Structure 1
Amino acid sequence: MFKDIIVGVTPSGVDKCAVMAAAEFARKFEAKLYLTHVAGMAQGWGSMEHLEPSGETERIKSQIEEMYSDLLSGIAEYQINVIPGIPHAEILRLARKKNTDLIVMGPHTKEYEEKRSKMWGMAGSTLERVSQKARCPVMIVHKDVACKDPLFENILVATDFSDQAECAVNYGGQMARQYKANLTVMHVVEPGVSAGDVEARLANEYGPRLDGVPGCSFGVCSGQPPMEILRMAQQKRADLIIMAHHSKEMDPEKAFLGSTVVQVALNGACPTMSVNRHFDLRCGLMYDQAGQVVQTEATV
């Protein structure tokens, strides 16, 4: 299912829950795992090109290896990368280079984790930009994931009927079939909109392609999207939420901060997966909105 997985890490250890989830996937699917820390100018070591000669990259690699050694036990192939640069740009570049089929990320900073209840979705730009621009699915994990079999039993997909949301629904259907999980597809409407009409639209648009998915159902809620998605996830006991990243926001600067997907991801009880392109679990191919295969760099 997953062959190459990137997980973003920091020397602080705040991303431990994300590493746990990524390591579990790597063991289960015999995938190669890339633990990746990007050291930017904020690290205080001056010019980024001098980071490696200074010995800091090797020091951080050793620190990360020691911190996560227990979690990496039993993984046949893993690699620790410490890369100088801009975090979101380097993670996305590595994902293209390795043709990864999953990126796993945590809350990124302790400061955000401590204040998330007051700062709805005000995460750093790394998490926002990676989840918005990645060519493969991005899983955001901020709590420990229960290692059970099957890994996912109740999957919730939130849609706003956009093109990107189509990708999320299709991916949700693939995941539900893979894990034989229950699947709920939901939409949040504004007050005054007929819930019955919208539920009928959900069934008409998505029903045929989800035919054969066990326990497939549709739901409509009224209110603020993040709150209603979280409420539905709790109601359905979801162990995975799948969404498209800020799929109706045209202004990229607004999309980088406070998006619905990040608000849900950092306040939910289960992992949230951001999917913006069609992705085939069976062959690991990514597609654009026109159905064309996305070309990725093949260099190693």
Structure 2
Amino acid sequence: MFKKILLATSGAPSTFGAARVAFDMGKRYGAEVLVLNVMGVPTKAYSQVVNDVRTGEEVEVDEEYRAWVEEELKNTFEKQIESVEYSRIILTTGLPHREILRAARENDADLIVMGASSGDSSVYRKGYPGSTLQRVAKAARCPVMTVHRETASYWGGFGNIVFATDFSKQAESAFKFALATARELDTDLTILHALDISGKVLDQNEIEDRIIAARERIRTAYDLDGFKNCDVEVWEGVPYVEIVKMARERSADLIVMAHHSHELDPEKARIGSTMEQVILRAGCPVVSVSKPDKV
């Protein structure tokens, strides 16, 4: 299922958790790990002088500089690179989100893995996912895995997957990915709908009626096609809190959610606030699915 994993990394410590998960997946599932580093954003079109993604300083990207960056990445991830059978380092310059999407497309990646600051210094600024992750998650043809907290990277492979649905159209693609992963890797799957009652005054009978209706909707909307290792849960509360709680209770190794936005312009589209909060708080990797191409 995972043949090529694209790890987008700046080489900074904030991306080490994502690297740990990406290389562990490569080792477990025999996938090739493509280590992508966007060295900088050109100051002018086709210019060799770029603004370094990590420091913001102007540097000239010549063969000597490329060799130095590649050697730094090899030293940084030396043990991980040795642990997998197939790996490759890709160096480029440009706008981080465009280069990540381009590399994923050209290499036919099955999964993009990103950390807290995989492409620019604004990612997760002030505690929220920044522009690079936003744009990659919106436009990627394959699922995008985010590892934000360091604790989310101490990973033991797949054993239990939580798929959180809001019954949107995009959630259908996320469900297909979650089910296919659970089936192929023989894991448990929990389908969760978090009934949003934050800021609402509802009596208990109404809440329970909505929970019953949501359970029925899950069974109607999502065809398990004979898959047996699945539970259906509907919890009421603040959605991101309930999703994180469910993942913790089930000792989940992965949370799968849909990326969707009312914005049509991918340059402006944002990940929904629920996913933002789940990414920031989850104790396991979080996968967002936008397009159905690679699910």
- Normalising to structure 2: TM-score of the pair? 0.82
Q: CA deviation at 1:47?
A: 7.2
Partner of 1:76: 85
Q: How does 1:99-110 map to 2 (within 5 A)?
A: 99-108=108-117
CA–CA distance in 2 between the matches of 1:254 and 1:41?
Answer: 20
Partner of 2:33: 33
Whichever residue aligns with residue 218 of structure 1, its letter is: V
Fraction of identical pairs, as percent: 33
Contact 1:128 1:262 in 2 (8 A): no
Q: CA deviation at 1:227?
A: 1.8
CA–CA distance in 2 between the matches of 1:38 and 1:171?
Answer: 28
Partner of 2:193: 187
Partner of 2:231: 217
Structure 2 stretches lacking a partner, 5+ long: 50-59
Q: How does 1:47-62 map to 2 (within 5 A)?
A: 48-50=47-49, 51-53=60-62, 55-62=64-71
User: Which of 249, 255, 263 is residue 250 of structure 1 equivalent to?
Assistant: 263
Structure 1 stretches lacking a partner, 5+ long: 280-285, 288-300
Contact 1:40 1:48 in 2 (8 A): no
Partner of 1:161: 167
Contact 2:101 2:140 in 1 (8 A): yes
Q: CA deviation at 1:196?
A: 1.1
Q: How does 1:273-292 map to 2 (within 5 A)?
A: 273-278=287-292, 286=294
Partner of 2:218: 202
CA–CA distance in 2 between the matches of 1:227 and 1:48?
Answer: 46
Q: Deviations over 1:92-114 (max 9, x none)?
A: 0111111111111111179889x
CA–CA distance in 1 between the matches of 2:179 and 2:11?
Answer: 36
Change (3 A) 1:132 1:265: same
Contact 1:155 1:182 in 2 (8 A): yes
Q: CA deviation at 1:188?
A: 2.2
Q: Deviations over 1:101-146 (max 9, x none)?
A: 1111111179889x88xx45x2221112112211001111133534
Whichever residue aligns with residue 79 of structure 2, its letter is: D
Whichever residue aligns with residue 198 of structure 1, its letter is: A
CA–CA distance in 2 between the matches of 1:111 and 1:254?
Answer: 18
The number of residues matched between the two structures is: 271
Secondary structure of 2:5's aligned partner? strand
Whichever residue aligns with residue 224 of structure 1, its letter is: V
CA–CA distance in 1 between the matches of 2:272 and 2:47?
Answer: 29
Q: Deviations over 1:141-187 (max 9, x none)?
A: 13353453xx2111100111112100111111111112222111112
The alignment yields a C-alpha RMSD, in angstroms, of 2.7
CA–CA distance in 2 between the matches of 1:40 and 1:159?
Answer: 37
Q: CA deviation at 1:46?
A: 11
Partner of 2:74: 65
Matched, 1:138 2:154: no
Whichever residue aligns with residue 78 of structure 2, its letter is: S
CA–CA distance in 2 between the matches of 1:190 and 1:9?
Answer: 35
Q: Which moved more, 1:125-134 or 1:249-258?
A: 249-258
Q: Deviations over 1:25-49 (max 9, x none)?
A: 222232222111112339x899743
Partner of 1:230: 244
Whichever residue aligns with residue 88 of structure 1, its letter is: H
Contact 2:4 2:108 in 1 (8 A): yes
Change (3 A) 1:172 1:248: same
